[in-house]
Structure 1
């Protein structure tokens, strides 16, 4: 069951032209840390009442308590449809129906496909892709009632798939396609859908990624401005501006919008850089252990394994 503490500081403030988000309700998944936590803070500072959804109870509470405005904290696994439905009921009861829902929860795994545990590979797809779809399913009644905005967090991994990141790249390409398909379905109901394309962002998921020769080469072969790592706070500001405009696409950093016309060439460029790097290293050098990236991803994987191992075997 979701863990729901007291709602703080509720008061209804009609939105005005200077602060169009003020008084409205936002839901952010994966809000315990990283981009989710930074975005929850940015939306709260913009006057929104924010519901933070995540797996890590203590970290989630700390993030919620640091926000300046009214908050609701819900411990929830986005792969659990019943828990998401309960979270949606709790948000409506505690804060009101959501006007903004951000499907941000995500994990990543680095390592060769043939050495990645099948359950771990599947978990990345379940959290990143299926979890995003289930988040939309749970909160669409809110967004229909408020004529709201659903933001899907994608990645430049959707532009060109990187070796050693097969599950993550597949999931991010998938969420982009899902969001674009959903957009056409819900637009007649007044619901708008945005896709956010994030590049290198300084979260704990990125820590140590340059230690892998192929991934380091992909970054090294990018133009200098494209190698820059942006803080989660800066990315959250870009996302907040896009949410305010109900933008169909949000680019973080903004110059990524000029890369869209070049997308057909990106897979070939990524494949060329990866192939060159793979040939330059021995199999021993490339046989790094499969790794779940970031503290949030490791917490999710440990929780999933614990629940899986404690479940009774099928008869």
Structure 2
């Protein structure tokens, strides 16, 4: 854990209802997590950044205008998360906002995806979110705070070549909906954020797969637009301020909710057309994005250490 001293409340944060409160963001080393940490810090919050890449995490924290904390933690490690929650509370105070953002993705045919990679996506995205909630719920109950689960339009309709990611995002949506009913009597709000195409290295990796690239290309022009992490973090921060039950990034996604029953058939039809041109046997599988690769490389090193050298 590394505390970053700040100059206090940033200029312009005086009127924010978030000012002076503590926020925890997982997966905060890069992408949406780092951008949201900055947005919350700009609003006057004390921000704890949780992630796997210590050097990248520290750079993200160093860039924040207010007081912050780095905690290098794997969200799949329950004991480590509980220790992180205790340390954050001791250093900054109990959390009022917790954002379960940590996530990785793999692209490619299920049959070619190594079992441990497929499982890792589920462990980080779904189980990691539950672990995050379990570690911080006592603090959120104490502060009558707000838990935000980052989901995706992948929960609307599963895409071929992304079975683990889509399963995990459908799972976190269901988890958050169930959790909401349980903790509302304690004064804790639970929000679900649906992210569409966002300008992170995960999207770059997805565009390397011809089928996934074709699925995006066949969407309407407004729907295939890639939004910056700055735009997405602004939508998320606005929803956090309002303790919104649902946050849509971009906002027009709210109108897609009634159409969700039609999405699986539509996605499957488009995918079948492209898979006839690119049979799954010709496609490879792998982690999407630098953050996901860093996580999986660290995980593989920890679980499959190299054999000791012989003297």
Contact 1:42 1:237 survives alignment (8 Å): yes
Contact 2:144 2:188 survives alignment (8 Å): yes
**2:251 corresponds to which of 251, 254, 259:** 254
Distance 1:131 1:211 in 2: 27
Residue 227 (str. 1) matches residue 209 (str. 2): no
Q: Give CA-to-partner distance per residue, 1:225-261, whole Å, 9 cap, x none.
A: 0000000111000000000000000000000000001
CA deviation after TM superposition for structure 1 residue 280, in Å:
2.9
Distance 2:205 2:182 in 1: 40
**1:136 corresponds to which of 127, 133, 136:** 133
Q: Which runs of 5+ in 1 are unaligned?
A: none
Residue 172 of structure 2 is matched in structure 1 by 175
Alignment of 1:171-250 (within 5 A): 171-250=168-247
**1:301 corresponds to which of 296, 304, 307:** 296
Alignment of 1:108-119 (within 5 A): 108-119=105-116
C-alpha distance 231-90 of structure 1, shift in aligned 2 (>3 A) = same
What's the TM-score once normalised by structure 1's chain length?
0.94
Q: Which runs of 5+ in 2 are unaligned?
A: none
Q: Give CA-to-partner distance per residue, 1:65-95, whole Å, 9 cap, x none.
A: 0000000110000000010000000110010
Contact 1:159 1:266 survives alignment (8 Å): yes
Contact 2:151 2:169 survives alignment (8 Å): yes
Residue 285 of structure 2 is matched in structure 1 by 290
Contact 1:109 1:291 survives alignment (8 Å): yes
Contact 1:31 1:60 survives alignment (8 Å): yes
Contact 1:129 1:174 survives alignment (8 Å): yes
What's the TM-score once normalised by structure 2's chain length?
0.95
Distance 2:39 2:224 in 1: 25
**2:46 corresponds to which of 39, 46, 49:** 49
Alignment of 1:127-166 (within 5 A): 127-166=124-163
Residue 275 of structure 2 is matched in structure 1 by 278
Distance 2:45 2:9 in 1: 10
Query: Residue 133 of structure 2: SS of its match in structure 1?
Result: helix
| Stretch moving more, 201-210 or 129-138 | 201-210
Contact 1:209 1:216 survives alignment (8 Å): yes
Contact 1:7 1:94 survives alignment (8 Å): no
